[in-house]
Amino acid sequence: MTTIWTRQAIDAAIDRRAQERSGVSAGLLELDDHPGRRLLDGAKLSGVTAEAWGRASAELAALWTVFEAYQLVLDRVATMRGGPKTRLGDRELAALADLLTGRSVALPRQAVPFERRGLLDPASTQDFLTLDEAVQSMTRTYEVVKKVAVDAEDAWNRLLEPLDDLKQQVQAARATADAIGTGTDPVFGRLANIEAQTADLRRRALSDPLGLVAGGGAGTPARLARLHSELATVRTELEQALSARAEFDQRLAAVEEVIVLIARAEAEAETVRAEVLAKIAAPRLPPASAAAAHLRTKVADLRRERSGQSWSLLGRNLSALEKNSRVILENAQKRVAQVRSPLDRRDELRGLLDAYRARAARHGVAESPRLVAAHRAARDLLWSAPCDLAGAEYAVRTYQAAVGAALPSMS
């Protein structure tokens, strides 16, 4: 059945196509201005991204070709329709209907390669689309190109922000290294390796972002985390080196002051040790320490190495010496208390013995023969030299038990 097109139907179709044309035009302009598309156009691409954008670019060029042919039809329709008062006969209405519904969108002729032509085949072909088919074709192509542009921008954003942060940290490390000066320490080689890896990763992120995030991009975050970890270690060593260079004499003098305190604690421990050995029988004492002398040797080594070693190595050694000296001082001070502990225990037992006797005296039992004998036994052990500490402790407990047994008879 043949459709009869009225002027009102033609005008309604033209209005719908005009709105459609505005939407297509706006979408294409937005795609043309999309940051991802502009970056793809301006970047030197490689790998997966180059392949994806190569295909998408060809699709985009074809899209614009279809759009131009589509617009030519709509321009022709507008010309034929004329103004609102233009009278249209049946022949004009039929021609407009054919343009609006028929295969009126003529695409450019395409050459047919020789190897694909038969004897009677033409050297070129031309495709024709309806306006609806043209819009469907442009819509499919638009989605393909848009996906590549959006994915590329998203990949760049995901990659470049952490890479820019890493680059800034690498530059800060390089500034510290330059302030230290040249050296043969491996830390400078490790920094150069991190710089090279960061530059390579950033170059790849700029040229092939889709390749780096392919398959979820699990490898890239792991590589970034490893570089951050390695750089943190390098920066710590470089900062130690810079600090060592600027504060070497001052920090080494501070270590020497700590060594003086260690030596005093060791001397005090030995003085107390001699007293303990004289007053306590077979005491269990920690071994003597000569850490101060060892640390003085380390200080002397650092002073000699100052002119021949790199500051990074000196910085590490100085930091280690500072840390070790503080730990050794703490242990030396604890050792004094450990060596003195037998004397402290003897004095504690003497105090306990006096307290138990005072308690017995308050209850009038202190002079009982049993308590007098138990008290004398404990006192003789505690006030003898060397003191049998284990025996004295047993004797004090015996006296305590005797006092406790005597007290109920007073109730």
pLDDT per residue as tens digits for the range 98-110: 899 899 898 988 8
Q: What are the tens digits of pLDDT across the range 346-369?
A: 999 999 999 999 999 999 899 999
Both structure tokens of 353: 């013995």
The pLDDT-based confidence of 370 (bands split at 50, 70, 90) is: very high
pLDDT at 408: 66
Across 265-274, average pLDDT: 95
**pLDDT at 410 > cutoff 50:** no
- Give, in order, the Cα–Cα distances in Å from 372 to each of 86, 367, 411: 142, 6, 21
Tokens read off for 375: 């008290």
C-alpha torsion angle, residues 130, 132, 138, 141 (rounded to 10): -100
Per-residue model confidence as pLDDT tens digits over 133-179? 999 999 999 999 999 999 999 988 888 888 999 999 999 999 988 88
Q: What is the pTM of this model?
A: 0.57
Q: How far apart are CA 372 and CA 118, in angstroms?
A: 135
**% of the chain residues with pLDDT over 70:** 96
3-state secondary structure the chain: CCCCCCHHHHHHHHHHHHHHHHHHHHHHHHHHCCHHHHHHHHCCCCHHHHHHHHHHHHHHHHHHHHHHHHHHHHHHHHHHHCCCCCCCCHHHHHHHHHHHHCCCEECCCEECCHHHCCCCCCCEECCEECHHHHHHHHHHHHHHHHHHHHHHHHHHHHHHHHHHHHHHHHHHHHHHHHHHCCCCCHHHHHHHHHHHHHHHHHHHHHHCHHHHHHHHCCHHHHHHHHHHHHHHHHHHHHHHHHHHHHHHHHHHHHHHHHHHHHHHHHHHHHHHHHHHHHHECCCCCCCCCCHHHHHHHHHHHHHHHCCCCCHHHHHHHHHHHHHHHHHHHHHHHHHHHHHHHHHHHHHHHHHHHHHHHHHHHHCCCCCCHHHHHHHHHHHHHHCCCCECHHHHHHHHHHHHHHHHHHHHHHC
| 318 pLDDT higher than 80 | yes
The structure tokens listed for 326 are 């503080």
Q: What percent of the chain has pLDDT over 90?
A: 62
Q: How far apart are CA 164 and CA 191, in angstroms?
A: 17
Q: How far apart are CA 199 and CA 129, in angstroms?
A: 50
Contact 149, 36 (CB under 8 A): yes
At residue 243 the predicted structure's pLDDT band, cuts being 50, 70 and 90, is confident
The arithmetic mean of pLDDT across residues 373-393, rounded, is 94
Is the per-residue pLDDT at 333 higher than 80? yes
Quote the CA–CA distance of 407 and 411 in Å, as a whole number. 7
Q: What does the alpha-carbon distance between residue 385 and residue 346 come to, in Å, rounded to a whole number?
A: 11
Res 224: pLDDT: 87
CA torsion sign, 117 to 121 to 126 to 129?
negative
The average confidence (pLDDT) of the chain is 89
- Evaluate if residue 53 carries a pLDDT over 70: yes
The pLDDT value recorded for residue 80 is 86
Q: How many angstroms separate the CA atoms of 52 and 292, rounded?
A: 69
Let me know: does 110 contact 102? Beta carbons within 8 Å. no
- What is the CA angle 116-117-122, rounded to 5? 135
The whole-angstrom separation of Cα 410 and Cα 274 is 46
Distance between CA atoms of residues 400 and 182, nearest Å: 75
| CB neighbour list of residue 5: distance below 8 Å, 6 or more residues apart | 93, 94, 96, 97
CB 211 within 8 A of CB 160: no
pLDDT in tens, 218-235: 568 888 889 999 999 999
Q: 411: pLDDT confidence band, cut at 50, 70 and 90?
A: very low
pLDDT band at 240 (very low <50, low <70, confident <90, very high): confident
Q: What is the pLDDT of residue 118?
A: 83
- In the prediction, which pLDDT does 117 show? 85
Strand partners of residue 280: 387
Bigger pLDDT: 404 or 81? 404
